[in-house]
Amino acid sequence: MSKVDSRLAVNLAGLQLNSPVMTASGTFGFGLEFRDFLDLNRVGAVMVKGTTLAPRAGNSGQRAVETPAGMLNCIGLENPGVDKFLNETLPQLREYDTQVIVNIAGATEDEYARLAEKLTVPGVAALELNISCPNVKQGGIAFGTCPESASGVVRAVRNATDKLVITKLSPNVTDIVAMAKATVEAGSDILSLINTLIGMKIDIDRRRPVLGNVIGGLSGPAIRPVAVRMVYQVAQAVDVPIIGMGGIMTTEDALEFILAGASAVAIGTGNFVEPELAERMADELSAYLDKTGTASITELIGAALPERQTREGGGCTC
C-alpha cells in the first residue's frame, strides 16, 4: 500500500498533487521534522510554517493549551525568516517528491509583495497568504476580516509573482462567501479554508488567561462543523479549487470536506496526535476508492453539494 496511487492525483488550478492530503501550515514544521514518522514523498504538499521577511521570536508565555476536542495556540509566527528558509530549508525539502507551499504573513501589503518576490524561485509550488495577522497600517485589525484589505494583499502578491496564489481565509468573519469572492476576484488561484477561530481560556486558579497572548487560535475537531460549513458555502460561490481544513483527524473527516467541495485537504492539529496521518490517510483513501468502486478521487469533489441553482440552508438554526 505504499506506492503512489494515480487515482489520488488531483490538479488544483495547475498545482499537481500525488495525494489530496497535505499538511497545514504551522502544524508540520518545515516537513523535515516528520521524516522519522512518515514518507514525505507520500504527502501531497507540505505547507510550511508562516514565514515573514525578518525572523520572528514569537510570543512569550504559554503558547498552547488543550480545549474540548481542540486546542488554542498563540505561537506568534515564530519563524527563521524567509532568507534562512530559502537558503537552508528549501534545498532539503526539494529532495522529496512533495509540493512545497510557503505560507506567508506580513504587516503591510508591501511586506507580502516582497515575500512573494523572494519566494518566486524553483521548488516553491505556491504561496499561501495568511491574512489572519494584524495589519499594522489599519490599527492591528487583521487583513482577513474585511474584503477590501484582503483583496489588497492578494493583488499585491499577484503583481509580484507568477507562482500560484492561495489565499487562506479566516473563519472569524460575518460573511465567508464575501471574503472568498473578493479574494478570488483579486487574483487568488486557490482558496484555503479555514484558519483558526479566535478563542481563549482562563485559568480559574490563577484567575488569569492561560495563554501568554491572552487570545489564541482554536483548531482541532471542535471546529470541524464550522469548517465544513464554510467550504460548502464557498464551493457554491466561487470557481477556484478549495483546500479544506479544520479538525481533520480521520479519512472520514477528509471525505467530508471533499464531498463538501474541497479538491484537497490539509491535516493540522491531527499531525500532533498521529504524525504519520497524512501518509496513512492516502492509503485509506485508496482503500475507500476500492471499496466504493470509484475511479478517481476527483469524482467525489463536491458530491454533497446541491445543484448550483438551488439555494439550500440558511433557515433558522435554533
Partner 1 sequence: MGKVKTLGDKRRFSATLVQQQQMNHDVYRMVLSAPEIAAMIKPGQFLQLKTGRLMDPLLRRPISIADADDGEGTLQLVYRVVGEGTKYLAGLQQGAEIDILGPLGNGFTLQGERPLIVGGGMGIAPLLYLVRALCPKPVDVLLAGREASELFWIKLFAERCQAVHVTTDDGSLGTKGNALALLPQLLAQGQYDMLYTCGPDPMMEAVAKEAAKHGVPCQVSLERYMACGIGACLSCSCGAKDGSRKKVCTDGPVFWAEEVML
Ligand X SMILES: Cc1cc2nc3c(=O)[nH]c(=O)nc-3n(C[C@H](O)[C@H](O)[C@H](O)COP(=O)(O)O)c2cc1C
Catalytic residue set: 133
Out of a copy of itself, ligand X, partner 1, none, which partner does residue 57 contact, by CB within 5 to 8 A per kind? partner 1
Which of these segments, 8-16, 85-93, 142-150, 266-274, binds ligand X (CB under 6 A)? Answer: 266-274
Residue 263 contacts partner 1 per CB under 8 A:
no
Residue 26 contacts ligand X per CB under 6 A:
yes
Out of a copy of itself, ligand X, partner 1, none, which partner does residue 314 contact, by CB within 5 to 8 A per kind? a copy of itself
Residue 269 contacts ligand X per CB under 6 A:
yes
Out of ligand X, a copy of itself, partner 1, none, which partner does residue 160 contact, by CB within 5 to 8 A per kind? none
Residue 18 contacts ligand X per CB under 6 A:
no
Residue 292 CB coordination number (10 Å):
10
Out of a copy of itself, partner 1, ligand X, none, which partner does residue 228 contact, by CB within 5 to 8 A per kind? a copy of itself
Between 33 and 72, how does the x/- string for binding to partner 1 read (CB under 8 A)?
xx-xxx----------x-------xx-x-xxxxx-xxxx-
Residue 4 contacts ligand X per CB under 6 A:
no
**What single-letter amino acid sits at 121?**
V
Between 33 and 72, how does the x/- string for binding to ligand X read (CB under 6 A)?
----------------xx----------------------
Residue 113 φ/ψ, nearest 5 degrees: -65, -40
Residue 265 CB coordination number (10 Å):
28
For binding to ligand X (CB under 6 A), which residues are involved?
Answer: 24-27, 49-50, 73, 75, 77, 103, 130, 168, 195-196, 217, 219-220, 223, 245-248, 267-270, 318
For binding to partner 1 (CB under 8 A), which residues are involved?
Answer: 26-29, 33-34, 36-38, 49, 57-58, 60, 62-66, 68-71, 73, 75, 78, 220-221, 249, 269, 271-276, 279-280
